[in-house]
């Protein structure tokens, strides 16, 4: 297992729609393990493969956020939404937007069909933080980002903040 580098906005790779997973093998299982380790180290509750530069329709989520709570790690491969119900506003963060938290409108409840690491299909109905996380991570698979849910003014402010961060990071490296 290895901790992977998380891409930060404005990296253009975050905008590329991901390709379906076709091979369910040891390489895929190793990728899922790396993603989980990367997510926990960040720390976050979800991570999509495009966030680590892998253009595959895959994300991991663990909404057990209390330190003493047992892991609820879930893997979603080639997910598709079956149903969206209601609307809820939720303050979200994103590992590709460090330090940024914005209120986003999402479906209150979702039903999703996906595959696990063995290629077995499952369906899940989710609400609360799990439903929010599923929608957020699935956006990454489509090349859609947190800023795309914001007003033009908020989008510009977040863009400026992230550009300033990218510039500071580049100066620190070089």
Domain ranges of the chain: 12-173
Q: Is residue 69 pLDDT above 90, yes or no?
A: no
Class at the top of the CATH hierarchy for domain 12-173 = alpha beta
Measured in whole angstroms, how far is the alpha carbon of residue 21 from the centre of its chain?
16
Catalytic status, residue 137: yes
pLDDT tens-digit readout, 28-38 = 999 999 999 99
Mean pLDDT of the chain: 95
Q: pLDDT tens digits for 121-159? A: 999 999 999 999 999 999 999 999 999 999 999 999 999
Active-site option among 27, 80, 91, 137: 137
Query: 75-94, pLDDT tens digit by residue?
Result: 999 999 999 999 999 999 99
């Amino acid at each position: 297992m290895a901790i992977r580098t998380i891409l930060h906005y404005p990296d253009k790779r975050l905008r590329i729609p991901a390709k379906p997973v076709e091979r369910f093998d040891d390489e895929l299982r190793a990728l899922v393990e790396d993603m989980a380790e990367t997510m926990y180290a960040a720390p976050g509750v979800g991570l999509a493969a495009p966030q680590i530069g892998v253009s595959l329709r895959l994300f991991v989520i663990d909404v057990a956020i209390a330190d003493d709570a047992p892991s609820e790690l879930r893997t979603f491969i080639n997910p598709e939404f079956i149903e969206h119900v209601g609307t809820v506003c939720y303050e979200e963060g994103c590992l590709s937007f460090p330090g940024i938290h914005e209120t986003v409108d999402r479906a209150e409840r979702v039903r999703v069909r996906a595959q696990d690491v063995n290629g077995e299909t499952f369906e899940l109905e989710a609400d609360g933080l799990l439903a929010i996380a599923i929608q957020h991570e699935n956006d990454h698979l489509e090349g859609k980002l947190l800023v795309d849910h914001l007003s033009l003014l908020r989008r510009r402010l977040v863009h400026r903040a992230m550009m300033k961060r990218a510039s500071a990071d580049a100066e620190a490296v070089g």
